[in-house]
Amino acid sequence: MKGLWAVILMVLCTLGFSSGAFAEQAEEKETHKVEAAKEVELVHSEKPPVSGSVGLGVFNKYVFRGYELSDDSVVVQPSVSVSYKYFSVSFWGNIDSEEHPTQSFVPDREDEKSFNETDLTLSYTFVIDKLSMTAGYIYYGTKYVTETEELFLTLGYDTLLKPTLSVYRDITTYPGTYVNLSVAHSLPLVKDITLDLGASAGYFAGDNDYWNTYERSTGAYTGDEYKAFHDGMVKAGLTVPVAEHVSVQPVMQYWFPLSDKAKKTIDGSSYNFNGKLDDTLVAGVNMTLSF
C-alpha cells in the first residue's frame, strides 16, 4: 500500500505543477467510463428532482482500465443517464465499426461492425457538504467475453482538483478488485468554453484462478494471481456550448501502464492473462444534451 500512496502523491503533484504551467485536468469516468465512461459528478442538494443527459461519443479506440478493446477502427459510444433526486440509472454502449483483435480483445465478429457492449449502471449518491458518496451496481453486457457484474463505491470531494476515489468489485465472472484515484479541474476560457484536464491511477488485484499469471517454467498461466499498479491516464479536452443544454467536448486521452507487471510479457505471452498494457492515445469527441 505504500507504493499505492506513492503513485497517488506523484499524480497529485504532477497535476499541481501542470495547473501552474497551463491548467489542471478534468477526469473520466472513468471514464466509465467514463469514462462517458464511466466520470463521477458531485451531486448538490439544490439539483432538480429529475435530471439527465443523452450523449454520443466517437473515438479512434475503446480503452477500458488500460486494456485496448479495439484497433484500427472507429468506435461510437451512445449513453443515456436519468436521475431522480439521488437515484440514477444509466446506459452506455460501444459500437465498433470494424473489429480487429488486440492483446486484450478477441472479436465476436472479426473484420465486421459489432455492437459489442451494453452496460447498465444503477446508483445512489449521498451528499454531506462538499463530500459525496456514490454506491452502485454495474452490469457489463459484453459479446466478446462472458458478461459480468460489479458493485462499486465512490468518494468525491468538491475542492481543488476534485479528488475522487473509486473501488469496483467484480461479483460474478472475474472476481477481483479495482481501485482508481482521479483528479480533475476545468478552467474557463472564452464565451463559456472551458479547458478540462484530468488524470487517474488504477490498481488491480485478482483473487481467483482466472487471474493466474504466466510462468516460463510451465508455459502456461499457473503463476500467482495478478496484483499490480495497473493503468495510468492523463487527458485534456474542451467543453464548447453550442446551444442551450447542448455541448461538444473534443478530448484526448493518453493511457500507460503503471508498473512493470502491467506491461510484462514472457516468451511473447502477456504476464497478465487479460493482456499487457501499452502506451495508447485515444482521441475523439463527445456530444451531450442535458436536461
Q: pLDDT tens, 126-155?
A: 999 999 999 999 999 999 999 999 999 999
Cell output for 165: 476515489
Alpha-carbon span 212 to 177, nearest angstrom:
15
Residues composing the chain? 291
Tell me which H or E stretch contains 13. Answer: helix 2-21
Instruction: Tell me how many domains the chain contains.
Output: 1
The parent domain of residue 140 ranges over: 2-290
pTM more than 0.85: no
Which one, of 105, 108, 109, 27, lies nearest residue 68 by Cα?
105
In this predicted structure, the answer to whether residue 23 has a pLDDT above a threshold of 90 is: no
CATH of the domain at 265: 2.40.160.40
pLDDT mean across residues, the chain:
88
Helices then strands (H, E): number in the chain? 2, 18
Of the given ranges (17-26, 94-103, 163-172), which has the lowest mean pLDDT?
17-26
Q: What is the pLDDT of residue 91?
A: 98
Cell output for 232: 495510468
Return the ∠ at Cα 24 (arms to 21 and 29), rounded to 5°: 155
149: preceding bond cis by omega (within 30 degrees):
no
Q: What is the pLDDT of residue 18?
A: 34
Which one, of 91, 92, 94, lies nearest residue 63 by Cα?
94
Which one, of 30, 84, 83, 29, lies nearest residue 53 by Cα?
83
Residue 246, classed as helix, strand or coil, is strand
DSSP summary character for residue 42: P
